Amino acid sequence: MKRTIGTALLALAPALALAQATATLQVPAAQHPATAQYPDGAPMTVAAGSKEQYAQAKAHAAAAYKAARAQCNSLAGTPKDICVAQAKAQRVRAEEDATAQFKNTLDAYTRARMRIAAANYNLDRARCGAVAGNDRDVCLGQAKASRVAAEVDARADKKSIEARADARDEKRTAQYKVALEKCDAFAGTVKDNCVSAAKSAYGE
């Protein structure tokens, strides 16, 4: 079952913050189109979370990547590798952020975090090209460790949210059964109204 991102996720927002090495997804809040922004600070001109915003965000990410990538052409060697990896990581973050907000499901947010972690890992590896010997080995090891940590956190947060949602569902189901039991004390129209009220109250 797909779980949408709502109150439960917003309440767990601190647990969902990505580590510095893997950037941070923006969990959507109620925003006016005039004040909403893309990850790079550019203003959003359509409603956040809408299909139009999703398409605009993808186009914005592509254009930003093209501009950033062009700036890398004046470089060579490791600096160019880092520049290209940085441009790619920024595009991945922008696109995954937009996709997660548009789909608004737990799976989408988790997938976005995993892909952002992979993109930042590639960036970290490129940066490691600036050093050699043991320093390079340590750098690559840290890059790998950061990616593993980000992926583990993403999976753990997903399980935690699912567990809380399941627990909430079980509690609601139990309370619904109690409410139906109370309705058994009535008969006819009164009982029917009681059952209807219970179903409405517990979303059955």
**DSSP assignment of 84-140:** HHHHHHHHHHHHHHHHHHHH-BHHHHHHHHHHHHHHHHHHHHHHHTTS-HHHHHHHH
Between 42 and 168, where is the model more confident?
168
In 3D space, the residue among 155, 147, 150, 52 whose CA is nearest the CA of residue 101 turns out to be: 52
Q: Which two tokens stand for residue 27?
A: 């969990």
58, pLDDT greater than 80: yes
What pLDDT digit, counting tens, does each position of 64-98 carry? 999 999 999 999 999 999 999 999 999 999 999 99
Q: How far is CA 57 from CA 18, 91, 124, 173, 203, in A?
A: 21, 10, 25, 40, 35
Tens digits of per-residue pLDDT, 87-146?
A: 999 999 999 999 999 999 999 999 999 999 999 999 999 999 999 999 999 999 999 999
Question: Which residue, among 117, 101, 90, has the nearest Cα to 27 in the 3D structure?
Answer: 101
- Is pLDDT above 50 for 30? no
Check residue 14 and give its pLDDT: 37
Q: Is the pLDDT of residue 59 over 60?
A: yes
Weakest-pLDDT range from 20-34, 60-74, 87-101, 178-192: 20-34
Q: Give me the mean pLDDT over the 5-28 stretch.
A: 41
Residue 204's pLDDT is what? 81
* Residue 23: both structure tokens together: 């950037």
pTM (global) more than 0.85: no
Question: Mind giving me the DSSP string for 17-83?
Answer: PPPGGG----------TTT-B-TTSPBP-S-TTSHHHHHHHHHHHHHHHHHHHHHGGG--HHHHHHH
pLDDT at residue 154 greater than cutoff 60: yes
Mean residue pLDDT of the chain comes to 84
% of residues, the chain, pLDDT over 70: 76
The pLDDT of residue 184: 96
